C-alpha cells in the first residue's frame, strides 16, 4: 500500500492537471515543446487498451456513448503500458471474465463511465473490501485512473475498455455482480437522441440478470428529464425494488465530483436513484 493514502484533495489535484481533446489517440511526448506525435498508434504491441476491442465480432447497434480516443499525456500512457497487462481488460466479447481471479475473490461492483476516475478512486479507498470494475472508452481517463490506483495503493480497481453492454451480455455470468453504478451518463438531451441513452428497459433487464440478490443499483444525473426516465425505467423492472418511494438522497459513499459541482453552479438539480436486486 502507498504511504500517501487517497484523499479527495490529492485526487482532485491530480485530476486538475489532466486535459483531453476529441482527436484520435496520440501521446504527448516529453519534448521541450510538448508536441504530440499525431497519428502514431499508442499501443502497437498490444500492451494497452485496444481502439475497438469487440471489432466485428458483435453486431453494430445504436451506441449510448461516443468513443473518446483523445490526447493521452506521457504519464497516462506510461501507466497504461505498465499496468494494463495486470489491471486492464479489453471487452472483446469472445471469452468470459473470471471476476474471482481478476479481483482476488472480492465482491465486484461495476461502474459504467468513470470519466477521469477521481470519484472511483475515492470510493475504492473508502471500501478496500470491494472491487470496482470501471468500464469506459476514454483512454486518458483509463490511464489516469490506473495511475491513481498505483500511487494510492488501491489494489481493488480494475479497468475495462469498451462497450458495457457487450461486457454484461457476453462476458459476465448471471448473478456475478455485487452492484452497478452509473453516474452522470451522457443525457443525450435532444429528443431524437433519446434512443442513445444508456438507461433503457432492455439495458436494465440485462443488467438485472448479472446482479446478485441484494446487489445495489445506483444511478445519478443532473439532467432532470433523464432522471425521470431513469426512475420510470428502473421502477418498471420487476427484478428491482426502489429503496425510496422516489429519488434518494445522495449517499455518503458517492463523492461530490468536480463535474457535479459545475452542474450545481449552473442551477442543475442532481438526483440519485437507489434500487436493490430482489432475492
The three cell numbers locating residue 182? 452509473
Q: Which residue reads 494497452 in cell numbers?
A: 48
Cα torsion 65, 14, 264, 248: sign: positive
Helix boundaries (H) for 49-200: 74-87, 99-102, 118-126, 139-151, 164-166
Q: Cα–Cα distance between 47 and 260 in angstroms, integer?
A: 33
Q: Which stretch of DSSP H or E encloses residue 259?
A: helix 258-265
Closest of 92, 82, 90, 91 to residue 146, by C-alpha? 82
State the catalytic residue, choosing from 52, 186, 246, 272: 186
Q: Is 186 designated active site? A: yes
Q: Cα–Cα distance between 109 and 176 in angstroms, integer?
A: 9
Catalytic residues: 186
Amino acid at each position: 500500500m502507498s504511504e500517501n493514502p487517497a484523499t479527495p484533495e490529492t485526487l482532485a489535484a491530480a485530476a486538475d492537471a489532466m486535459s483531453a481533446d476529441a482527436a484520435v489517440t496520440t501521446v504527448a511526448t516529453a519534448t521541450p515543446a510538448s508536441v504530440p506525435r499525431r497519428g502514431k498508434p499508442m499501443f502497437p504491441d498490444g500492451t494497452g487498451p485496444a481502439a475497438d476491442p469487440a471489432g466485428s465480432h458483435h453486431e453494430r447497434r445504436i451506441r449510448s456513448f461516443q468513443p473518446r480516443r483523445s490526447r493521452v499525456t506521457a504519464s497516462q500512457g506510461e501507466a497504461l503500458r505498465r499496468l494494463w497487462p495486470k489491471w486492464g481488460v479489453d471487452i472483446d466479447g469472445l471469452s468470459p471474465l473470471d471476476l474471482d481471479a481478476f479481483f482476488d475473490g472480492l465482491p465486484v461492483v461495476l461502474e459504467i463511465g468513470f470519466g477521469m476516475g477521481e470519484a472511483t478512486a475515492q470510493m475504492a479507498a473508502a471500501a478496500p473490501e470491494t472491487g470496482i470494475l470501471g468500464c469506459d472508452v476514454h483512454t486518458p481517463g483509463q490511464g489516469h485512473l490506473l495511475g491513481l490506483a498505483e500511487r494510492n495503493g488501491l489494489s481493488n480497481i480494475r479497468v475495462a475498455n469498451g462497450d458495457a453492454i457487450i461486457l454484461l451480455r457476453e462476458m459476465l455470468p448471471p448473478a456475478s455482480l455485487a452492484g452497478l453504478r452509473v453516474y452522470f451518463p451522457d443525457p443525450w438531451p435532444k429528443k431524437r437522441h433519446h434512443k442513445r441513452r444508456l438507461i433503457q428497459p432492455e439495458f436494465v433487464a440485462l443488467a438485472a440478470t448479472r446482479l446478485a440478490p441484494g446487489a445495489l443499483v445506483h444511478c445519478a444525473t443532473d439532467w432532470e428529464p433523464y432522471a425521470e426516465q431513469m426512475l420510470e425505467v428502473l421502477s418498471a423492472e420487476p427484478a428491482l425494488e426502489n429503496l425510496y418511494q422516489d429519488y434518494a438522497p445522495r449517499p455518503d459513499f458517492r463523492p461530490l465530483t468536480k463535474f457535479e459541482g459545475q452542474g450545481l453552479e449552473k442551477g442543475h438539480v442532481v438526483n440519485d436513484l437507489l434500487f436493490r436486486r430482489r432475492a
